[in-house]
């Protein structure tokens, strides 16, 4: 604490950003094309800077299976609390990652998304543009084998009605009208029901592509 002045949570975060050290690259393993940015190294640097300034981070995760690419998606929501006044917190949301659909996939995606929440929170310097050392592999789309998933319902928004109207559009013009009609509701889903939001936007993108191809 500087002098006897009490810092608010944003002043503490500002000081944490200034005091945080750069994250050192990890060692290359077999098959890696560059030095990786490891979760534990990022967490160690970020946590130390936060604790030194009276801040503490917690994370919640939203997990969803994405059938057409056979991956699990994890979205991390990080809350950073002021230790001196726990009623005050800063939210970092929207950091997501994918993992394989196996016993390690969810944990890997949780670590990956948490790593990027820390990086975004403190604007940590890494000196690299990529993260895990391996060249990314494209997703394998298995849409043809997948069965349409059930609608993720919402207590406020009629998700099924939005899906039906978008899928039923016969022209690009009518599609755009339907999209604009439901814009506010879709934005609400983005903030409050991520699964329903992704389902609606997937259908919208698919139908728009079909109409652009004249289907």
Residue-range domains of the chain with CATH:
9-122 (3.30.160), 148-212 (no CATH)
pLDDT tens-digit profile of 62-92? 988 888 888 999 999 999 999 999 999 999 9
pLDDT tens-digit profile of 30-59? 665 667 788 899 999 999 999 999 999 999
CA angle (59, 60, 65) in 5-degree steps: 130
Could you tell me which residues come within 8 angstroms of residue 11 by beta carbon, excluding any fewer than 6 positions away? none
The residue written with tokens 């500002």 in the block is 14
pTM over 0.85: no
Q: Which SS3 state, helix, strand or coil, does residue 114 take?
A: helix
> Cα–Cα distance between 210 and 215 in angstroms, integer?
5
């Amino acid at each position: 604490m500087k002098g006897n002045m009490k810092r608010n949570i944003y002043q503490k975060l500002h000081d944490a950003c200034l005091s945080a050290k750069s994250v050192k690259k990890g060692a290359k393993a077999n098959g890696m094309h560059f030095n990786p940015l490891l979760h534990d190294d990022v967490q160690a640097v970020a946590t130390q800077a936060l604790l030194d300034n009276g801040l503490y981070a917690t994370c919640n995760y939203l997990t969803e299976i994405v059938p057409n690419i056979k991956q699990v998606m994890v979205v991390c929501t990080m809350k950073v609390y002021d230790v001196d006044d726990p009623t005050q917190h800063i939210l970092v949301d929207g950091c997501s990652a994918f993992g394989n659909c196996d016993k390690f996939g969810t944990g890997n995606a949780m670590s990956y998304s948490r790593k990027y929440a820390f990086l975004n929170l403190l604007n940590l310097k890494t000196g690299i543009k990529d993260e895990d050392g391996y060249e990314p592999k494209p997703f394998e789309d298995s849409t043809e084998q997948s069965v349409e998933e059930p609608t993720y319902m919402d207590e406020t928004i009629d998700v099924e009605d939005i899906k039906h109207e978008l899928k039923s559009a016969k022209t690009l013009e009518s599609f755009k009208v339907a999209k604009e009609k439901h814009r506010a509701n879709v934005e609400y889903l983005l903030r409050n029901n991520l699964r329903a939001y992704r389902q609606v936007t997937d259908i919208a993108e698919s139908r728009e592509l079909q109409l652009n191809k004249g289907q």
